[in-house]
Amino acid sequence: MFHYLKKLIQSKPEKMISYAQYIAEALYHHKHGYYMREDEKIGRKGDYITTSNISDIYGRAIAKWYKKLVQKYDLPASVCEIGAGNGRFAMAFLEEWHREHQLPLQYFIAEASPYHLKKQRDLLTNFPHVKQISNLEEIKPFKGMVFSNELFDALPVHVIERNNGQLYEIMVAAEHNELIEKKVPLENEQIHRFLKKNQLVLNENQRIEIPLEMERMLAGISNMMELGLVVTADYGYTTDEWMEPYRRNGSLRGYYDHKMFYNVLENPGEMDITSHVHFDALIREGEELGLHLLIKQRQDEFLLSIGLLMELEESYDPNPFSETSKRNRAIRSLILPDGMSGSFHIIIQQKNLHLLPEQLFPFNKKSNG
């Protein structure tokens, strides 16, 4: 991968590329990209873990919640999952959806990784109606729920920094046998517009990521969607949180073998690269595109709101290795504030619907039982 990147960089007149282009190549290059390689990426044998890989409880809870919304408000029984990874969320969702009270469901998966496409097909053999798509345009006009888990944090970002009162873009260059950073005065007008639109004023010596690809992804979702909900599960910061002094170095990180690396220029193509989502920008951009905010909640609070606590088995099982005990531990890990869910937020937007926030949680204990 390094030799490919070095050749790419040397082919440019400036002998450098943006961080956004570097991340796009390192993650999504058709041959060398991290997500395109034939290697396990998620779970104990991979480099990171997602909520849906802790247990099938997460996918089942979302399925039960959306099914009730479909039945109560006559919403379309159709789901598009963007970036479905190894397919475990889809598997749990579909199993729960078809468990009782059969209700026909359309399920689409938008996926770029050939490796993950194969993993999904292998896992979802009992659900032949699931359709994998490579472009959201294929299902336009879509009506239903668009769901993503850790999608936006994996999109390419530009990196900028403020020094001596001036804004610079951090670029990637190649010298000898390593990739290095180079600083150039910020000239990208799209970045300037992003900063102005979102009222982002960097402090001296502050570095931050600029998610222009996030805007394009939201535009693609809105363009293909005629009516429904967009449910986003991810980690990120508000504008005020970005300005906290201890976040002055930005959030760009790499993960390899469950270890975190601050230098994402090391081992390109072999590690996951991620950055925190600009929540306020995602919400603001969505509003401009007709995706209107319903709620933003911490994930543990959202799961409590949809009744996950009621899923805990009342019967005590002294055997810590029993299915009941393992299930209850998984539920607790999802709803405790200091668990994995405490770092995530759920953002729900609606298009051409007229739901109120409280209408997302109309389920009492009896209806969850």
Q: What percent of the chain has pLDDT over 90?
A: 66
Rounded mean pLDDT of 38-42? Answer: 57
Buried b (16+ CB within 10 A) or exposed e, 223-258: ebbeebbbbbbbbbbeeeebbeeeebebbbbbbbee
Query: How high is the mean pLDDT of the chain?
Result: 88
Name 74's Cβ contacts closer than 8 Å, sequence gap at least 6. Answer: none
Q: Name the token pair of 222.
A: 């809105």
- Check pLDDT > 90 for residue 241: yes
| CB 286 within 8 Å of CB 349 | yes
Question: Looking at residue 314, what is its pLDDT?
Answer: 52
Find the mean pLDDT for residues 84-109: 91
In one-letter notation, the amino acid at residue 209 is E
- The string of DSSP letters for 290-326 reads T-EEEEEEEHHHHHHHTTGGGGS-SS--S-TTSHHHH
Mean pLDDT of 274-300: 96
d(CA 80, CA 84) in angstroms, rounded, equals: 10
- How many angstroms from the chain centroid is the CA of residue 204? 30
- Residue 277 above 80 pLDDT? yes
Q: Where are the domains of the chain?
A: 1-9+158-209+243-275, 36-155+212-235+276-360
Tens digit of each residue's pLDDT (9 = 90 or more) over 197-219: 999 999 999 999 999 999 999 99
Q: Are strands 131-133 and 106-110 parallel, antiparallel or unpaired?
A: parallel
**Least confident piece of the model among 63-67, 249-253, 311-315:** 311-315
pLDDT single digits (tens) 144-168: 999 999 999 999 999 999 999 999 9
189: CB partners within 8 A, 6+ apart: none
pLDDT above 60 (res 45)? no
Q: In a 3-state reduction of DSSP, which class is residue 37?
A: coil
Q: How far is CA 255 from CA 2, 46, 260, in A?
A: 18, 10, 5
Exposed, middle or buried, 97 (CB in 10 Å: 0-12/13-18/19+)?
A: buried
Considering only CA atoms, which of 109, 106, 88 is closest in space to residue 144? Answer: 106
Please write the tens of the pLDDT for every residue from 317-352: 677 667 666 766 666 667 666 666 668 999 999 999
Q: What is the pLDDT of residue 223?
A: 97
| Residue 177 clears pLDDT 50, i.e. is over it | yes
pLDDT at 311: 66
CATH number corresponding to 36-155+212-235+276-360: 3.40.50.12710
Q: Is the distance from CB of 35 to CB of 268 less than 8 angstroms?
A: no
Which range has the worst mean pLDDT, 43-57, 286-300, 339-353? 43-57
